[in-house]
Structure 1
Amino acid sequence: MKKLTLLLLLASSMAYGQRNLNIEETVFGPRTYAPTALISSNWIPNSNNISYLDKGYQNLVQKSATNTGSEEIILSKNDLQNALKTRIPNEQINLQIFPSDYKWEDANTISFILYTKQAHYHIAVNVKNKEIVHLLETKLEATNQEYTTDYSKVAFLIGNNIQIKDNTGQLTVVTADTVDGILSGSDYTHRQEFGIKKGMWWNPQNDKLLYYRKDETMVTKYPLIQWDTRVASVKDIRYPMAGMKSEEVTLVIYDTKTKQKITLATGEPKEQFLTAVTWDPSGQSIYVGVLNREQNHLKLNQYNAQDGRLIKTLFEETASTWVEPQNDLLFLPNNPKQFLYQSDRGGFNQLYLYNTDGKLIKKLGYQNLIVQQLGDFSPKGDLIYYTGVTNDGLDRQLFSVDLKTGKTIQLTQGTGTHNAKLNSDGSYILDQFSNLTTPNIVQIKATKSGKIEKIVESTNPFLGKINPPKIEFITLTSADGATPLTGRIIYPSDFDANKKYPVMYYLYGGSHSQLVTNKWLGGAGYFDMYMAQQGYIVFTMDNRGTDARGRAFATATHRQLGQAEMADQMKGIEFLKSKSFVDQNKMGIFGWSFGGFMTTSFMIHHNDIFKAAVAGGPVMDWKYYEVMYGERYMDMPQENPEGYKLTSLIDKADQLKGDLLIIHGAQDPVVVQQHSMEFVEACIKAGKQVDYFLYPTHEHNVSGKDRIHMYEKIARYFDMHLKK
């Protein structure tokens, strides 16, 4: 497919009745002007019918893939309300909408989580007789609920400890640690790096619970000042800074029958990372990815679930930069001795088929295709479906791969972003699709004939309401001359190529990020569009180090964060400067978190480009950042002193030019406030003026209505310095 170097969103229409976005819509606009879609759509098991919520979120309805014109109510909100009142008579439950997080347990039963003022409930409802067939209740303060596959038990956390409740109401206390710094079952183990999404796993037989036990008593406490009392208080968090003592984690099995605990023999050193945790289908063993603290050597180990001993290491993975496991193993449904493993060791994240002896059976990769999200197996278990990244990172398509032959087939077409899934027998694909010029299309495709039936074709949600700016994709080349880079430019609504405009250069640039994608609006935020409507050229580009372009693209930044990234962003800056409509004397730059680091870096290392800048939650020195993320990219300060000195901005404050506004959340537990405070102090010592603003009740991101205040502050700052 040929790359689109210039793809237009819409001509800048000035139709009667249209207006620009207001500042409130920078936050609430995505909901107000959402393209028409199918809400909470799912295939009903063992059928050709899809289910979704109606426009008022009042009913669960279904539509047939073979007769897409008709719609039938399966279960109404009122039916569900009555069933709940019958089963939970003591609760004052008043559903406002039908639960959007429902899922199908079988062809007749849906389940969902209900949060009330008194408790949390996991509920299953038979949609035929409209009765609740299952209910598990946990306390309101319970977190991290983990249910057995048969929903006979639920494990959850009360504070830092695990409890289990079964469907008879019996409660079991699994851990009762009172020592500050001992946590069990937490999904925040290893700070949720390495693909960690939860801290507890039930075995397939639903009688043993595997969980993380995290000991961070040796990790330095970091104080966060809380302003919600008359006398401010201190909330201490455990924050392992780069090069300092990190947490020690083990994995423990709790047997619900014997009430015994067994710790897996994951061994020394204690400062290592345990991830890709997967039960064997038999329940007899457990697989764990054991990654060293240096994050360059992974062992995939098998442990005995009866006594915790190490059975064997199946294989090892090493790298000169880093190894970053992101996914659990996935066992084949028809062969419990084989599993799929994901790795980018070949250059792109792809699938590898192994057996439980550790033998590689087949690499299932295809060209430079990147596996983004695994789907289901085919009914026969001979295929696996997945969403793959194509078109130099811009597009998302659905693929199937034959597990025996490795043959890969693309199942969706049309450049853009496809969110697609197949029905139980693989005969139909439900595809929600958008691209830069297409708000949303929902369609059903027959896999054999290729026939497509459109269910929804959204019109432009701005039409007749908001005057949308013109958006284009542009393609440049990375600073090393090796890789195409995709950028996005947004023009003022009344753009005139004969005039000159100020610029807001918005960037992030860090790992696992991608700001420019081929979906509706090109991935642009509503604040980007607002600023364009206020008369700015708004530009964004993804540099080396960001996501969806492969391993070499990501690892180019190793041990010197910000350097390759700035070199690439300079290509975007050169592109803008080559345009006659850009006012080179009125350019501003804005970024948050890693983007705040990049913003400040430009104001120091390339201090003659931008007149004004806004850096939110910025990293100023990587030695103040945490172990798991920071050491992956920078190694320890002891190992890479030159890299830490090069990338630190604090000792270079005397090079600051232009107007810089730093914004920070006062309770930020991710990029702690010490970063910006150290930089401000260095600016004072260097005689450099810098503007500073705190959001006292916010952490790393400013959310809710306060975000409107933040965007207004940023817009005013650029107006003040770039529109004089």
Structure 2
Amino acid sequence: MDEQYRKLSLEDIFLEKKFEPENIHLFAEDFPNKTIINTLEKTFPGKIDPKSFILNADNTFLLFKIKEENIYRRSTKAYCYVLDMATNEIIHLHANKIMHARFSPDGEKIAYVFENNLYVFCLDNRDTKQITVDGKWNYIINGNCDWVYEEEFVFSQAYQWSPDSEMIAFYRFDESLVKEYSFPIYDDQYNSNYTYKYPKAGEENSDVTIHIHHLHSENTVPCSIHSDKGYIPKISWSPESLLYIFHLNRHQNKLHIWEIDPSSNAEEIFYTEEDDRYIDFTDDWFFVENRKLIYTSEKSGFRNIYLKEKNKTSIPLTDNQYELTYIGSVDKENGWIYFTAAFPNPMERQLFVVDFHGKQKQLSKNAGWNVTHIDKNKSKIIIENSNIREPATFVEYTIEKGVDNLPTLQMKQIVSENILLKQSLQELKLGQPAFLQIPIAQDKFLNACMLQPTDFDESKKYPVLFCNYGGPGSQMVVNRFGAVTMWQHYLTQEQFILVSVDNTGTGGRGADFKKQTYLQLGKLEIEDQIKAAHFIAKLPYVDSDRIGHWGWSFGGFMSSLAITKGASIFNYAIAIAPVTSWEYYDTIYTERYMRTPIENPQGYEDNTPFDSIENIKGKLLLIHGSADDNVHLQHSMQLSKTLVEKNIPFDMAVYTDKNHRINGGKTPLHLWQKITKWLMENS
């Protein structure tokens, strides 16, 4: 390596974290130029985090959290306080840590969840009312999600204030019939067990119901919808304070949206959608005035935007042959919908706007990956632009109405250019990642990315490590900074070539490409990885006897298939927190793609490492956290048990009391040192 450049170290990456991007506070609230909270005068049981500040509607009260701790992936609990901005009085909402503290829209009340029950605190008289009383650990949950909803439907706060602040709609989960799962916590002379409800494929789910609490009458009314148990992935209020309940059947291929009138509790179906395979449910549903719904759907083959009015057929607002990835914001006053799409190719993200009549234009100008942040007044926007080689630059724009009655963006300021990160990167001699397309069949190719050593020499032979996730709708091959990790750059110093390939089933290429894996999760995905590996093996600078595969979670599943089903081409594999049998994973995720084990026994049996385990010729490293609440240690233990029974050598590491992310303290450094050392010795 050239002397003017310094060598990248694992300590730099995982201990010192020298290559983290700046922590940008995007839209700060305007406070008067005075001390808000003097911590010398008022003491708290922990540090105040300004990022937790939430102001009510008229900026008269400030809610903040202290000692916030994670529960699962998205849920947290914390000590919560409220500051009266006029008197500087500080109110402690509850003596214990609570969840989901949120102001009502009028700013006069705060709802929160404590010990599976829902409460409302009134700011005017400092009175607390308990809305539910039947909450009990591992039995009944009110206002908070059970484990599987939080993980798979990507939310944890399970209540919503009505726009008029007169009602709260909330979820009630009856977990009594859901089977328990336990794992040990090694924290004392005798270890304890953490036990929670985890529904596995084909097993019983929580019985989920929606209730409306009327604050003035103090009545709580259950909502009746005439549907099978299924799932309720979302509830939403309209501006008129009508409640909409989104219901998916258990197969997740039929969606009904029920409209509930809280004044009479009358219900009727507002919208229905069906799919031959499954509905990939997202959070892109927005109600506007006069019972109009803006939503996205894949029914055209690509995700597009539609407008639905009561008792009328949906109207497409976009008809694009590229993938919409999410709606960033809806400006109801101007009738504008901001959305991001995979354009002009699946690896890119660009910002667009469309109005309520279907007039569309592109707003972002720079190639690469554009992430948008729009302020609550819809008057400013920050575009975060990066590419696979350059860290993000944050630019703020003001939003103005153009002559075409669509927004135009006027640059206001550069918020951040990640100067410190760019300076740190300039001290290193890094390889330049390159995109390529790998042909795997006639008229079919896969998007891929390759990173070569900085001193690459075509006359040499290099080992190759495939870095893969590969799960439904995911993408690793994207033109975004961070898509190639600093650890991958570290491996190029050790003379590795790194390759990522987005197989069949991944995102950005439309519904059919994604849903081809239906009922056979793992089959087409690993076939693609194997074909891609054979293609890479033929390159003159690749050592075809030193091709490996690495992945985490679904990627770990892929690595376990690579070393078994792909034993003819993959010589070594590292599987971290792998799924090894879909029967061991949760209902919502697994059954969406595979149905139940009884309905699809062949799909479950054929697409695991177990049915090809005797093919193994290469080397395998299994890694798992013992306290993984998501992909249980059971997966790796069952695989290791079978490997031992077959007398197949392998290596394994279990990280004590660590969850699915295997993080905290020096754990990441230890983990990546272990992986790297193993690669050096076994590739």
Contact 1:149 1:204 in 2 (8 A): yes
Report SS of the residue matched to 1:598. helix
1:431 and 2:383 correspond: yes
1:461 and 2:423 correspond: yes
Cα offset, 1:440, TM superposition: 2.8
Letter in 1 for 2:184: I
Q: Corresponding residue for 1:273?
A: 231
1:679 and 2:639 correspond: yes
Cα offset, 1:458, TM superposition: 4.6
Q: 1:513-543 CA deviation, whole Å, 9 max, x = no partner?
A: 222221225x112222222222211111221
Q: Corresponding residue for 1:114?
A: 65
Cα offset, 1:717, TM superposition: 0.9
Bigger RCO of structures 1 and 2 (CA < 8 A, at least 6 apart) = 1
CA distance in 2, matches of 1:381, 1:557: 41
Cα offset, 1:105, TM superposition: 6.5
Cα offset, 1:430, TM superposition: 3.1
Q: How does 1:569-588 map to 2 (within 5 A)?
A: 569-588=529-548
1:475 and 2:426 correspond: no
Cα offset, 1:109, TM superposition: 8.0
Q: Corresponding residue for 1:385?
A: 338
Cα offset, 1:35, TM superposition: 4.9
CA distance in 2, matches of 1:134, 1:266: 43
**Quick one: which of 40, 50, 57 aligns to 1:99?**
50
Report SS of the residue matched to 2:26. strand
CA distance in 1, matches of 2:32, 2:492: 45
Cα offset, 1:505, TM superposition: 1.3
Q: Corresponding residue for 2:8?
A: 21
Q: Corresponding residue for 2:133?
A: 176
**Quick one: which of 134, 139, 148 aligns to 2:104?**
148
**Quick one: which of 499, 516, 520 aligns to 2:481?**
520
CA distance in 2, matches of 1:465, 1:125: 47
Letter in 2 for 1:344: E
Q: TM-score, normalised by structure 2?
A: 0.89
Distance change >3 Å, CA 245–CA 431, structure 1 → 2 = closer
Provide the alpha-carbon RMSD of the alignment. Answer: 2.9
Contact 1:577 1:584 in 2 (8 A): yes
Q: TM-score, normalised by structure 1?
A: 0.84
Q: 1:85-143 CA deviation, whole Å, 9 max, x = no partner?
A: 67xx4547765xx72355777898895633159931255869xxxx8599673444201
Q: Corresponding residue for 1:238?
A: 197
Cα offset, 1:314, TM superposition: 1.9
Q: How does 1:341-352 map to 2 (within 5 A)?
A: 341-352=295-306
Q: How does 1:35-74 map to 2 (within 5 A)?
A: 35=21, 39-42=24-27, 51=28
Mean CA deviation greater in 440-449 or 646-655: 440-449
Cα offset, 1:714, TM superposition: 0.7
Cα offset, 1:207, TM superposition: 2.3
The alignment of Structure 1 onto Structure 2 pairs a total of residues equal to: 660
Q: Corresponding residue for 2:121?
A: 165
Q: Corresponding residue for 1:666?
A: 626
Q: Corresponding residue for 1:4?
A: none
Contact 2:534 2:569 in 1 (8 A): no
Q: 1:233-273 CA deviation, whole Å, 9 max, x = no partner?
A: 22222121111222211111122222221111134533x10
1:718 and 2:679 correspond: yes
Letter in 2 for 1:497: E
Contact 1:665 1:698 in 2 (8 A): yes
1:617 and 2:577 correspond: yes
Distance change >3 Å, CA 648–CA 188, structure 1 → 2 = same
Distance change >3 Å, CA 136–CA 514, structure 1 → 2 = farther
Gaps of 5+ in 2: 69-77, 403-407
Cα offset, 1:75, TM superposition: 6.2
**Quick one: which of 254, 265, 271 aligns to 2:213?**
254
Q: Corresponding residue for 1:331?
A: 287
Q: 1:423-465 CA deviation, whole Å, 9 max, x = no partner?
A: 6887764322111233233334566586646624455333453
1:417 and 2:369 correspond: yes
Cα offset, 1:501, TM superposition: 1.5
Letter in 2 for 1:476: I
Q: Corresponding residue for 1:33?
A: 19
**Quick one: which of 123, 129, 145 aligns to 1:187?**
145
Distance change >3 Å, CA 699–CA 108, structure 1 → 2 = closer
Letter in 2 for 1:342: T
Q: Corresponding residue for 1:374?
A: 327
1:485 and 2:455 correspond: no
1:503 and 2:464 correspond: yes
Q: Corresponding residue for 2:565?
A: 605
CA distance in 2, matches of 1:371, 1:41: 24
Report SS of the residue matched to 1:187. coil
CA distance in 2, matches of 1:339, 1:223: 42
Contact 2:292 2:308 in 1 (8 A): yes
Distance change >3 Å, CA 579–CA 80, structure 1 → 2 = farther
Cα offset, 1:655, TM superposition: 2.2
CA distance in 2, matches of 1:518, 1:139: 47
Gaps of 5+ in 1: 1-12, 43-50, 52-59, 62-73
Q: Corresponding residue for 1:229?
A: 188
Q: Corresponding residue for 1:555?
A: 515
CA distance in 1, matches of 2:284, 2:127: 31
Q: 1:345-393 CA deviation, whole Å, 9 max, x = no partner?
A: 2222221111133x23521124124333323344743222222222332
CA distance in 2, matches of 1:530, 1:149: 49
Letter in 2 for 1:721: N
Mean CA deviation greater in 482-491 or 619-628: 482-491
Contact 1:504 1:589 in 2 (8 A): yes
Contact 1:36 1:440 in 2 (8 A): no
Distance change >3 Å, CA 481–CA 187, structure 1 → 2 = farther
Report SS of the residue matched to 2:567. coil
CA distance in 1, matches of 2:57, 2:376: 11
Distance change >3 Å, CA 233–CA 623, structure 1 → 2 = same
CA distance in 1, matches of 2:468, 2:139: 37
Q: 1:269-296 CA deviation, whole Å, 9 max, x = no partner?
A: 33x101231112222x311111111111
1:303 and 2:260 correspond: yes
Letter in 1 for 2:552: W
Cα offset, 1:674, TM superposition: 1.7
Distance change >3 Å, CA 388–CA 113, structure 1 → 2 = farther
